Chains A and B, each alone.
Chain A
Amino acid sequence: MTVFRRSCLTVSLISATALLCSCGGDSGSLSSTSGGGTGFGSPPLTKGSGSAWVQGQFSPEANFAAMCATPRTGTDPATQTAYPDRQGTLLDELNWLRSWSNDLYLWFGEIQDQNPANFTSDASYFEALKTTAITASGSLKDKFHFTYSTATWEALSQSGVQAGYGANFVVIAPRPPRNTVVAYIEPQIPAANAAANLARGAQVLSIDGVDAVNAADQASVDTLNAGLSPQTVGESHIFSILDVGATTPRTVTLVSANVTETPVQNVHTIATATGLVGYMLFNDHIATAESELVAAFAQLQSAGVQDLVLDIRYNGGGYLDIASEVAYMIAGPALTAGQTFELTQFNSKHPTVDPVTGATITPVGFHTTTQGFSVAAGQALPSLNLARVFVLTTASTCSASESIINSLQGVDVQVIQIGSTTCGKPYGFYPADNCGTTYFSIEFQGVNAKNFGDYPDGFTPQNTLATQGVLVPGCSVADDFTHALGDSAEGVLASALGYQATGACPVSPSGLANSKAVKSFWQENRIQRRPRAQ
């Protein structure tokens, strides 16, 4: 987690460096004598960097908003109006961060108030504007504190479209000796890469001549990152891989292309002695998932499944509305009618009104109709009307995916967790732009119908040897890369089916060893951005 923080800082520093370099003259200095500036649209004298720092006293963030060391000009595509930026100073930007965090940060009382004048960049100051508390498991309480270039953040792409190979990798061991394998293949894998015949479990031994297992220097890691996450289409990288069961590596060349993700895959039924079981792999809460989920649940509803295995082991979240739809389609109307899917709670300064939207805070129910994300809004959702569900999880299971688990538990649907501990992110934020940087600082926590949302260490299968998160009935089982996802012989799914049949787990819990399966080695060095397709 320390590495995580450092990585964020790295990117933030890059941003800040650009900011400072482009400031020129005094605009990037810490001099606070400009009193709000004398440039375009000079602010009132009571605003801006003329306000001296007094510990524990905070001016409204509006006093410093859009007062920028380097104001943007032109039309903001996000608001479709002129950028509000005015000439200010770095100190103005830091004062905005300070006041904004004090107002909206979920744990504002745990921020150590520090004089912004002692900081030389927005990145370093933002990094200080969070809690340093740790959770029961010893993890940082706030693991989700980011900045990003607003221009990059606001770029749009068709849902699910990104530059890639059509193969998704997972890093099981992030440090040398590393273990990086193929997690799954997209159905729409580009033809050039399909010829490589990559399959789940294939181990990456080298990329572009760099030892993917043992290389430790920064240049090598950069090469590995570049190969695993192509930034643009048309990139060509040479991989040495070892297929499952093979003893001799082979070399393949992968070429990046715009790949359209299929977020819901492998929907099928499994006949068991204890009833028909439905299975679906749900990888991403993106907009196109809505139509695929509706089709998947309708298929399983028609089949008359008596149990469902929802495989969200690689699902890191996304649109919360999609999660609400999924929860409804599992539980159905009888269990969810009038119930809370999730209630968003802000800090104690904002108990009743969403401080960002201005709307009264009200519980979000379980959606019973489509929301118009990828199919027309208002269509009745199918439902399986199940009183229990099996979820397959890893540390990649995060955010909105965890909301499915928590919301169902909130309405007494029995959730049986097979796999390993989830990431632990009951929190969220409204990304906020100021002066060209978008800040992600935790602002709210989601709670279920039982007012529970305290799972910062994730959800953990009950028989896990070393308890990490909130215990959930189920089995600790390591991800099994020797079988295809959805294969009844795949270890995690097999354990779910075993539990469904007997109520018992495999003899030896194995999930813990794999609980950090997707902590990637690039986090040791720098933040890794999902490439933007071109």
Chain B
Amino acid sequence: MKRRRSRAAIGCHLVVAAAYALLVLPARSAPANQPAVIVAPTAESRAELSRVIRDALHGAPVTLADDALTTSNMISLGHANIRDQARRPLNGRELSRPETFELFKRGSQCVLVRSKNGHAWRLHHTRCEALP
């Protein structure tokens, strides 16, 4: 019987892996696509990143750090840090996986890729540089 589940529980690992392999890995392996990080983030670039991710997730509220994607080309998102009274995670035995995005430099463009399905967005107001 099919049941309704939370976002995190919905993810099908095999589908994710397959989509990732089909859509992301080819892009990453191409010479022009390099894992990248944001440099000199601005209010505009932060707003763009937040908006793109929110739109990618169909409007789900998302909170990002000001230095998101400045030290790593991957960003992981999870449920807001809801804790019980003893400040332990409400779901301390989490079987799901986080939502992740990766940043790549494609030529002169900064491209954000949703790991789950390989969908990509160009960031127009963001400067990035390829990781060594």
Contacts and interface: CB of A to CB of B under 8 A. Distances in A.
A403 interface: yes
A158 to B, nearest CB: 5
A253 interface: no
B30 interface: no
B88 A529 contact: no
A157 interface: yes
Interface residues of B, number: 53
Given A158-B68, A258-B65, A433-B4, A373 B97 contact: yes
Interface in A349-404: 355-358, 371-377, 395-396, 398-401, 403
A291 interface: yes
Contact of A287 (B17, B76, B90): B76
A425 B89 CA distance: 12
A319 B98 CA distance: 9
B33 to A, nearest CB: 14
Contacts of B87: 316, 396, 518, 520, 528, 530
B91 A316 contact: no
A346 interface: no
Contacts of A157: 62-64, 77-81
Contacts of B4: 65-66, 84, 432-434
Interface stretch (B5-13, B36-44, B106-114): B5-13
B118 to A, nearest CB: 13
B81 A530 contact: yes
Interface string B29-73: 000000000000000000000000000011111111111100010
Interface centre among A66, A291, A529, by most B CB within 10 Å? A529
B85 A522 contact: yes
Interface string A189-209: 000000000000000000000
B72 A285 contact: no
A430 B89 contact: no
Nearest to A259: B65
A433 B93 CA distance: 18
B100 A372 contact: yes
- The DSSP consensus for interface residues of chain A is loop
Contact of B93 (A80, A446, A528, A530): A446
Contacts of B86: 316, 395-396, 423, 518-520, 523
A529 B5 contact: no
Contact of B66 (A146, A258, A438): A258
A77 B57 CA distance: 7
Nearest to A395: B86
Nearest to A314: B87
A162 B83 CA distance: 12
A534 interface: yes
B123 to A, nearest CB: 16
28 contacts: A7-B85, A62-B1, A77-B57, A77-B58, A144-B84, A152-B80, A154-B79, A155-B60, A155-B62, A155-B63, A156-B60, A156-B79, A156-B99, A157-B78, A161-B65, A287-B78, A288-B76, A316-B88, A319-B96, A358-B2, A373-B97, A374-B76, A395-B86, A398-B92, A428-B92, A430-B9, A431-B9, A520-B86
Given A77-B60, A152-B82, A530-B81, 15 more contacts: A148-B90, A154-B60, A155-B60, A156-B61, A260-B65, A287-B78, A317-B89, A358-B2, A373-B98, A373-B100, A399-B89, A399-B92, A423-B88, A432-B3, A529-B82
Interface of A: 4, 7, 60, 62, 65-66, 75, 77-80, 84, 144, 146, 148, 152-159, 161-162, 258, 260, 284-288, 291, 316-321, 344, 355-358, 371-377, 395-396, 398-401, 403, 423, 425, 427-434, 438, 440, 446, 518-520, 522-523, 527-534
Give 5 closest A-B pairs by Cβ, nearest first: A399-B92, A317-B92, A316-B88, A287-B76, A428-B93
